[in-house]
């Protein structure tokens, strides 16, 4: 490696090219079968992914947003219902609620883990609340036990948004199996990504799984028999399912590699933590799969510029808090200071299973060189 070489944020093309041969084989298999929708590849992937999530059922759908929306719809959520969502998340979490005609009720995160705060969640529960929707943000599971206890006490459902945390653990249990049901996404840049769009619902609730199975397919499970008003067609296709079957076996190793690199970042940057730098924190009872390595700094713009100058790509997840998006004028006046602060200060450093230790060290050195004058 030359010192001037670029460190991409996430080398998506390279990641997929390491699997060129098996991906080509998968393509040939589907091409030869002549079967492209709702076939054996999807069925096999659904059982393989359910096994990973330690759930009994998996239903492949078109993308992560649809997985969330169909789960809410299948749970009977609609106008007049409230769904508690994190104030700091990717907008899809809220959009799924709005798409059902229900109202997203944002709750601020725990300031250390960035995930839904159970204490504030309790304060936000009203007689209209039907669902708690924690997000396992950046790869770290939300604090599920207190959320599940709240749900039990108030008769609510818990639906996990697990799009960023495939394979992560909470108290030794898999994300996806921690609430009533979970939605995930196979968007190409997720920890397990398709070569296109994809998503899935996982659950131990057989009836709920059956309803999602119908809803994803015009409200029908048996051809030309339409039992429920579906109004939707959202299926994980055979080609993407076949590609995902190629990628699933390396998920654990990829996640382990992410964990090793994240640990390296944290060890090297820990002495520099302070007012100018907050490092990501993972609670002791959780195992993050490090979808992203997100630091916080009030000097984000300048630090980003310094990293760019050194040939290091970064990203911001996410620059505008959801309540300030133009599509949500009804939330514009809300006071959500933590979400605002996250949006101002978060910075995602490059992290991918393909990164080398030397790459991490170079990022670390650039961050240190930037912070040195600020720490005097």
Ligand X SMILES: *Cc1c(COP(=O)(O)O)cnc(C)c1O
- What is the binding site for ligand X (CB under 6 A)? 63-65, 89-90, 92-93, 135, 161, 163-164, 185, 187, 197, 199
Token pair belonging to 133:
């929707």
Tallying the residues shown for the chain, one arrives at 376
Q: How far is the CB of 317 from ligand X (least distance, A)?
A: 8
In terms of CB distance, is 88 or 362 closer to ligand X? 88
In terms of CB distance, is 70 or 336 closer to ligand X? 70
In terms of CB distance, is 41 or 161 closer to ligand X? 161
Element at 348 (helix H, strand E): strand 346-349
Q: How far is the CB of 294 from ligand X (least distance, A)?
A: 13
Report the residue number whose CB is nearest to ligand X: 64
Q: How far is the CB of 105 from ligand X (least distance, A)?
A: 17
Half-sphere exposure of residue 90: CA atoms within 13 angstroms, side-chain side:
20
User: Are the C-beta atoms of 202 and 58 separated by less than 8 Å?
Assistant: yes
In terms of CB distance, is 61 or 360 closer to ligand X? 61
In terms of CB distance, is 251 or 277 closer to ligand X? 251
Query: Phi-psi region for residue 290, left (φ > 0), alpha (ψ -120 to 50) or beta?
Result: left
Q: How far is the CB of 198 from ligand X (least distance, A)?
A: 7
Closest C-alpha among 241, 212, 210 to residue 35: 241
Q: How far is the CB of 273 from ligand X (least distance, A)?
A: 26
**What number of other Cβ atoms are within 10 A of residue 37's Cβ?**
13
In terms of CB distance, is 140 or 164 closer to ligand X? 164
User: Are the C-beta atoms of 318 and 164 separated by less than 8 Å?
Assistant: no
Return the DSSP state at 88: S
Q: How far is the CB of 47 from ligand X (least distance, A)?
A: 21
Residue 318, preceding bond cis, omega within 30 degrees?
Answer: yes
């Amino acid at each position: 490696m030359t010192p001037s070489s670029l460190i991409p944020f996430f080398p998506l093309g390279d990641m997929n090219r390491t699997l060129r041969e098996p991906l080509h084989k998968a393509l040939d298999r589907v091409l030869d079968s002549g079967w492209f929708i709702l076939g054996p590849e999807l069925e096999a992937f659904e059982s393989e992914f359910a096994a990973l999530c330690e759930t009994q059922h998996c239903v492949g759908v078109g993308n992560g947003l649809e997985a969330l929306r169909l789960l809410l719809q299948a749970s009977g959520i609609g106008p007049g219902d409230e769904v508690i969502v994190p104030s700091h998340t990717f907008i899809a979490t809220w959009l799924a609620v709005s798409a059902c005609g229900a109202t997203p009720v944002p709750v601020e995160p725990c300031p250390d883990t960035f995930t839904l705060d159970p204490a504030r969640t309790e304060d936000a529960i009203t007689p209209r609340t039907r669902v708690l929707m924690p997000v396992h943000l950046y790869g770290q599971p939300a604090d599920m036990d207190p959320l599940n206890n709240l749900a039990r006490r108030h008769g609510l459902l818990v639906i996990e948004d697990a799009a960023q945390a495939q394979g992560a653990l909470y108290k030794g249990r898999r994300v996806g199996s921690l609430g009533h049901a979970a939605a995930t996404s196979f968007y190409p840049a997720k920890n397990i990504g398709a070569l296109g769009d994809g998503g899935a619902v996982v659950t131990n609730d057989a009836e709920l799984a059956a309803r999602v199975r119908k809803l994803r397919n015009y409200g029908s499970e048996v051809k030309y028999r339409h039992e429920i008003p579906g109004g939707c067609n959202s299926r994980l296709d055979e080609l993407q399912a076949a590609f995902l079957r190629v990628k699933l076996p390396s998920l654990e190793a990829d996640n382990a590699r992410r964990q090793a690199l994240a640990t390296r970042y944290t060890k090297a940057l820990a002495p520099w933590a302070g007012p100018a730098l907050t490092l990501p924190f993972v609670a002791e009872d959780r195992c993050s799969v490090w979808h992203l390595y997100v630091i916080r700094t009030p000097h984000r713009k300048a630090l980003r510029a310094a990293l760019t100058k050194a040939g290091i790509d970064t990203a911001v997840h996410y620059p505008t808090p959801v309540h300030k998006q133009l599509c949500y004028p009804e939330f514009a006046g809300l006071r959500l200071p933590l979400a605002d602060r996250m949006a101002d200060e978060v910075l995602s450093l490059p992290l991918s299973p393909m990164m080398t230790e030397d790459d991490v060290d170079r990022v670390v050195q650039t961050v240190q060189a930037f912070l040195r004058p600020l720490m005097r």
